[in-house]
Every structure is written in structure tokens, then in C-alpha cells.
Chains A and B, each alone.
Chain A
Amino acid sequence: MKSIILTTASRTLLPLLILFSVFVLLRGHYLPGGGFIGGLIASIAFILHAFANGLKKSRFLLRIHPGFLIPTGLLLALGSAIVPIIFEGLPMMTGVWYPETLPVIGKVGSALFFDTGVYFVVIGVCLTIIFTISEQA
């Protein structure tokens, strides 16, 4: 599927879509969005790139095997769940929040890290499945 229009567009679309996915992830706590949708958007971005430029280039762009994102995300989510136990002596998954409000992002707390974990797992799962299947095709 070599199409000049798609190839050219994907070069611009990839960073834009990824940026958008991060945006969706970050705003999730206040407005529609979140880690799951963000992860799906990011995976679509990469899949679009793969369609336009071939799987090899996308893999090169990603540097690591998408499978590695799965444990990374799981660890991040698990970490955010047990941090309250270790540092605050609170039950598992208690929300811990940074008192100040940061510019752009808003309030930062363990829930955000948890959502980021979900984000990575979703990207990892989608890309692993689709890359593996399209390698076959």
C-alpha cells in the first residue's frame, strides 16, 4: 500500500496524533478522555504509520518491541497502587496527591500514574497483536 499522499500525511499525523493521545490521557481526570482512549489513539497513530510506510519503518521508529510497553505499564500501575502502602502507610490504591497545581496538567496524583500505566498497556497490547498479525499477512 504505497501511496504518496498517505506517506506524506502520516509523517505529520504521527506526532500530532501522539500529542493528541497524551492530551486525552492528561485531561481524562476532568473531561472526557483517559488512559484507555489515549492508548487506543496512540496505537492507531502507529498503525497508520505502519500502513503508510511499512511495518519495518514503524518498528524502527518505535525502537523497542511494543511488547515491552506491557510490563512497563503494568509496573507503573502497580507502583502507583502500592506507593501509598510504602510511603504513607495507607491502604493499597489510596489516592495520593501533590498539593500544588501544576501548569497545563493540573493536579498530579497517583491516579495519573495509574492511568499512564493503563495507557502504556493498551498501546503495548494493541501494537503487539496487530504487528504480529500483520507480519503474518
Chain B
Amino acid sequence: MRAILKPMGLTLVLYATTASAQAEDVTTFTLDNGMDVVVIEDHRSQALTNMVWYRTGAADEPAGKSGIAHFLEHLMFKGTDKMAAGEFSATVAANGGTDNAFTSKDYTAYYQQVAADRLDLMLKMEADRMVNLQMTEQDVATERDVILEERNMRIENSPQALFSEQADAAQYLNHPYGIPVIGWRHEMEQLNQQDALTFYHQYYAPNNAILVVAGDVEPDQVRELANQYFGPIAPNPDLKPRVRPQEPPQLAERRLNFSDPRISQPYLVRSYLAPERNSGDQRQAAALTLLASLLGGDSTTSYLATKLQFDTQTAVYTSASYSGMSLDKTEFNLIVVPAQGVELADAEKAMDQAVADFIAAGPDPEDLERIKTQFRASEIYAMDSTNSRANRYGAALAIGLTVQDVQDWVPTVLDISADEIIAAAKTVLDRRASVTGFVTPSEPVTTGTEG
């Protein structure tokens, strides 16, 4: 089957063509009030995705108010002085569209998918709620119950998610990334209307926002409508630089034991504090991205899979993951699910030995080339989803990257050498900056009794 590798030279030419085509259909500009705009043209259908991103997320919350960024996201659907509670989404639906929103540690985004000729209305409504939010005490109280149920669903009902919260809290000694996006329950229960409005007035302003419109649109049309609706909104002069408390040197590895009767399959997780992508400086993040792919990206061919699942039957599942898409330092993660009868401590030893062997030997050139081939192709496949492209640009700009950084990313990854990957591994895979978690079943409580 070696023959199948031959035509890759041809595809290289093709990739280059597509990458430049991708750059051509992205337009970016800034309104006079500081609001950034990205337009991604895709005329294959008559639909569009409209997104407004705010450069604020859970890591920007005041101490003791965890969850307020996400709670505000919910309350942004509760109306303005012009629109009643629920009217925003009802109007989108009445125009045949769908809408939703999401909050992360670094950003909050609102979006609609709708026919392209409804852009005018979407921008008008988004501009309205950027400054005119209103809500009743009753709406706030009911919605707080909703987010508590959301926490129940996402976290309390999932022992894996409960453990992740504890692990994040242990990973960050000082930075607010250690606090869950949805909030600690005891703080969520106390969040009120004033907390939400304070956060809103501080962070929701055109000079802290990015408009991304992707689909069957022309940049000039978006420019005109953005100026019409967002242009009149005054910037917030009191917006401060995004400086969060940073991590001190991490000098002591942390080890967690977590048990829950709802865990049936033991597993271990290792996370290391890791650098993120920075504007004009993405090489180390690119090296870590390749490192994660090589170590534990593919469930069959990765180094950990080979050593722990094929050469030995130590594990049934292994993975390594890293994403540099954050404003501040992030994590490099390893997971091992041991085979039946293998102790977690032995699985951990095998994992550490495999990582050490990988660093000593360096990446296999064929493996590295294969992974880079997939990165090249990802540029082509990414063109298929307008939504994903809108998300990619929006998230990048929200964490301080530029359109140029987004377009440089794949070429940067392709340019990384084996030596850079090993250097990044040696720097980042430092046990002193790591958290290791053993997640195990505890004695189940007898079912059939009322608790």
C-alpha cells in the first residue's frame, strides 16, 4: 500500500491554492467606536451566521461572583426597553431562524442562523441588547433556578465533570481559570440582578465586542448595516486592559484522589500548565499542538496508543490534548483508561515511561509528516462549514489574536520541526506544574433506598 502515498505532491499545490482563497473571502475592519467586524463570504447557500462576541468571560468575574458571566448570558434574552422577555428569540424564530449563546472562560458570544436577507433585523436587535438590557426581579429569580438546573445537569450529575472542576482548581494556584465557568453552586445561589447589571455595564460595549457575519453577504453591506446599528453606540471609556491574576512559579506537583459511586470505570488524568497562542507568537503552541497529536491524537496510531494499547495491553483508551485558544496559560492533558486488572499506579508509570521514551527518541518522521498532511487538509475541510469558520475567527479575536494569526496558524504548524516539538515537550511536561488525578469508584450506596 505504499503506492497510495505517492500523489501527495499534487495535493500540496492544491492546498496552497485553497488557503489563499480562504484569506480572500475574509474581510475585517473596525468601526469608529472600536467594534471589530469580520465578514466571511460563502455564497453556496442563502443563509448566514451572525455572531456578536464580547471579550469577557468567566475569568473576568469579580471574586465571589462565579457564574455571573454565564448568568448574564441567560439574562440577555430577558428583554430591553423595546423588547419583552423572550421576544428576541421569538422574533428570530418568527423569521425562520435559530439563535443561542455560549460563555467560556475568555468570551461570551451570541449568534443567530437565519436567511441572509434578515441580517438587518439581527443587527438591530443585537445592537439594542448591547446597551438597553432590562429585566424583572422575577425573571432573575426564575432564571437562577434554570442555571442551577444547568449546573445539576452538566456537573452535579456527572462525576467526571465534578472531578474536572477539582482538577482545574488544583491546576491554577492564582489564575481565575481555576473557577468553573458555570460557577460554584454556593456563589451561583447568591447571584442577583445588580451583579448581572454591574457586569453588563462594565463589559458590554462596542469597544469590547466583535461582530462576525458569515455566509451569503457582501462586506460593504455588513459595513453599512454595522455602522447604522452599532455605530451610534458610545464606547465604554472605563474599559480596562484584560489583566488577570497570573500564576506564580508552580513548584509542587499536585495529586488528587476522587471517588464516586457513579464511576464504574477507573481512569487517570494528568494536566500540565501550558502556554497559549499569542498574536505573532504561535510557534510554541503549534509545537504543543503537534505534540498532542503525536502522543495521543489518533486512537490507533498515536505513540501512547502504540505503547499502552498495542505493544502492551496496559490501557483500553489513551489520549493527549491541547488547545492554545485561550487568553492566558492553559493546559496540556493526558488521559489513560487502564485495562481491566491494571492498577492506576501501574498505568501511570507506563504512561510516564512512554512519554519519556518519546522525548528521548524524538517523533517518528513518518508520523510527523502524516499529521502535517492532515493539518494541510483541514484547511480544505474547514471551508465546508461557515459556522465553524465564524467560530474560529470570533474566538481568536476574542482572545487577542488577529485575522492574520488565524490565517498563519496552519502554515506555522506545518513549519514546526521535530526539535521544536521535543523542546516544547521538555519545557511543558514538568511534573512540578502538573496535576495528576486518580478517579475511582467508591462503594455504591444500596439502590432502592430513599436518600
B is bound to A: no
Instruction: Please list the residues of chain B having a beta carbon within 8 angstroms of any beta carbon in chain A.
Output: none
